[in-house]
């Protein structure tokens, strides 16, 4: 038994420590995407072999204008690089350029159970009352996400609160695949809970998350916003007429105030409690004035770099091309193993 355990352990340890994450090109990126995801990817590339993917196949689960989709894909790639993801350390690529994602996805469709998908709360939220009329892709989205992870045998996946359930599903699929085919082909992907990642809410409604698809542009600060736009949006952000409260307990009942302090604390990398102490009892205009300066200072350089990168089409295309070649090199090997294990090989 000991020999068997050691054999399994040594196999488990032989997996390359690899991170995979993706961002959908569904519109201009905002500070929620940056503070909640991209910023937290940067340190990972020092520790793991990292792949960061523009997940265009996920984006089309909801209608996308083809011309805008192309522009948005470029913008996500530019945002990755401008924020500090280094193409010489990490693999940056477009999901649809590596067909193995969808090839594995079909196999995983046949492994996953309908009951598992029926439990996915994100589908219920996104489909709402319109469930009969949304795309089948929106329903099977978590299987494609499992495939994104498994096609690289990723061992670690940075996840925010909203993606935890999808990663659990991936873990169920890994277990069932390895059991069904009596292999140890896929490692069990571990979540990297991004504790520092902030959940940023809409500037117009503190109960709704900041989102690319929100109808109001004043609900979000985009990474491409000018200093003027940043200033206007923060000035107009919803707050109370009264000053900031004196206690955290009172603050908990004020989602918009909470959100502005969260944005401050996330950009400054300063503890929320300390930021709150500094502004308790003060007027919102004091907090907003300082926040405008901070956001402009942090976003300004990223915006300038993004403009430079999106203007240099050839540079971005070269990075994405080389990224997809490196990604496909890994993915094609894994797909071959899957076809061998499942009898699909000819
Ligand atoms: N408001 C947010 N606060 C913190 N993190 C956020 N993320 C998105 N919004 C916030 C994180 O950004 C990463 C990439 O997101 P995505 O584009 O893949 O999907 P999403 O969560 O659906 O993003 P949006 O902005 O809300 O887009 P739409 O409107 O198209 O649905 C993810 O890690 C996400 O958690």
In sequence order, what DSSP letters do the residues of 215-227 get, joined into one string?
S-GGG--BTT--H
Distance from the CA of 198 to the center of ligand 1, in angstroms?
11
Q: Is 255 in the pocket of ligand 1 (CB under 6 A)?
A: no
pLDDT of residue 2: 54
Helices 100-111 and 313-342, axial angle in degrees (round to 10): 40
Sign, CA dihedral 280-286-287-290, equals: negative
Residue 69 corresponds to which tokens in the numbers above? 């989709």
Residue 215 contacts residue 206 (beta carbons within 8 Å):
no
pLDDT of residue 178: 98
pLDDT in tens, 36-56: 999 999 999 999 999 999 999
Task: Give the whole-angstrom CA distance, residue 325 versus residue 110.
Answer: 28
Residue in the block written with tokens 């589908």: 123
pLDDT of residue 12: 53
Q: Which of 203, 183, 335 is nearest to 262 (CA)?
A: 203
pLDDT in tens, 202-261: 999 999 999 988 999 999 999 999 999 999 999 999 998 889 999 989 998 899 999 999
Mutate to test the pocket of ligand 1, among 19, 22, 33 (most ligand atoms within 8 A of CB): 33
Q: Is 39 in the pocket of ligand 1 (CB under 6 A)?
A: no
pLDDT of residue 213: 84
CA 28 from chain centre, in angstroms, equals 14
Q: Is 321 helix (H, G, I), strand (E, B) or coil?
A: helix
Q: What phi, psi does 78 have (nearest 5°)?
A: -65, -40
Rg (CA), the chain: 22
Residue 101 contacts residue 332 (beta carbons within 8 Å):
no
pLDDT of residue 4: 57
CA 239 from chain centre, in angstroms, equals 28
| Residue 56 vs residues 12, 63, 86, 327: alpha-carbon distances, Å | 31, 12, 21, 15
Task: Give the whole-angstrom CA distance, residue 262 versus residue 265.
Answer: 5
Q: Is 210 in the pocket of ligand 1 (CB under 6 A)?
A: yes
Residues 6+ apart with CB under 8 A from 62: 26, 126, 135, 138, 213
Please report, for the chain, how many H helices and E strands are present, in that order: 17, 5
* DSSP β-bridge partners for residue 209: 201
Task: Give the whole-angstrom CA distance, residue 292 versus residue 285.
Answer: 10
Distance from the CA of 92 to the center of ligand 1, in angstroms?
18
Residue 108 contacts residue 147 (beta carbons within 8 Å):
yes
Helix intervals (H) in 132-283: 136-150, 164-180, 227-236, 248-252, 255-268, 272-279
pLDDT of residue 258: 93
Task: Give the whole-angstrom CA distance, residue 245 versus residue 242.
Answer: 8
Q: Is 94 in the pocket of ligand 1 (CB under 6 A)?
A: no
pLDDT of residue 129: 85
Residue 83 corresponds to which tokens in the numbers above? 């924020």
Residue 288 corresponds to which tokens in the numbers above? 């907003």
Distance from the CA of 37 to the center of ligand 1, in angstroms?
8
Sign, CA dihedral 45-50-56-57, equals: negative
Q: For the chain, which residues score pLDDT lower than 70?
A: 1-13, 195-196
Residue in the block written with tokens 């280094």: 86
**Residues with catalytic annotation?**
126, 209, 212
Pairing verdict, β 90-94 and 49-54: parallel
Residues 6+ apart with CB under 8 A from 175: 188
pLDDT of residue 197: 73
pLDDT of residue 109: 98
pLDDT of residue 241: 80
Three-state DSSP string of 98-134: CCHHHHHHHHHHHHCCHHHHHCCHHHHHHHHHHHHHC
């Amino acid at each position: 038994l000991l020999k068997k355990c050691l054999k399994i352990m040594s196999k488990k340890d032989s997996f390359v420590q690899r991170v995979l994450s993706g961002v959908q090109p569904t519109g201009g990126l905002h500070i929620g995407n940056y503070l909640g995801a991209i910023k937290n990817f940067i340190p990972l590339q020092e520790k793991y072999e990292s792949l960061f993917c523009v997940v265009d196949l996920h984006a089309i689960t909801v209608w996308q204008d083809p011309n805008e989709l192309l522009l948005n894909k470029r913008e996500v790639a530019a945002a990755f690089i401008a924020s500090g993801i280094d193409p010489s350390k990490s693999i940056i690529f477009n999901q649809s350029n590596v067909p193995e994602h969808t090839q594995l996805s079909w196999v995983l469709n046949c492994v996953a159970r309908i009951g598992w998908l029926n439990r996915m709360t994100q589908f219920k939220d996104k489909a709402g009352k319109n469930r009969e009329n949304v795309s089948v892709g929106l329903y099977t989205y978590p299987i494609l996400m499992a495939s994104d992870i498994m096609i690289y045998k990723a061992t670690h996946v940075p996840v925010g609160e909203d993606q935890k359930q999808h990663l659990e599903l991936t873990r169920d699929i890994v277990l069932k695949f390895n059991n069904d085919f009596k292999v140890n082909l896929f490692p069990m992907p571990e979540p990297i809970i991004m504790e520092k990642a902030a959940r940023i809410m809409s500037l117009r409604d503190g109960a709704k998350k900041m989102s690319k698809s929100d109808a109001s542009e004043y609900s979000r600060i985009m990474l491409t916003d000018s200093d003027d736009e940043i200033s206007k949006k923060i000035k107009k952000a919803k707050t109370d007429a009264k000053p900031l409260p004196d206690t955290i307990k009172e603050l908990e009942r004020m989602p918009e105030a909470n959100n502005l302090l969260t944005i401050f604390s996330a950009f400054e990398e300063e503890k929320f409690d300390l930021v709150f102490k500094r502004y308790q009892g003060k007027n919102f205009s004091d907090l907003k004035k300082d926040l405008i300066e901070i956001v402009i200072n942090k976003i300004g350089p990223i915006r300038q770099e993004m403009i430079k990168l999106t203007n240099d089409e050839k540079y971005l295309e070269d990075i994405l091309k080389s990224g997809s070649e490196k990604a496909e090199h890994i993915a094609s090997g894994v797909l071959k193993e899957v076809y061998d294990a499942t009898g699909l090989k000819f």
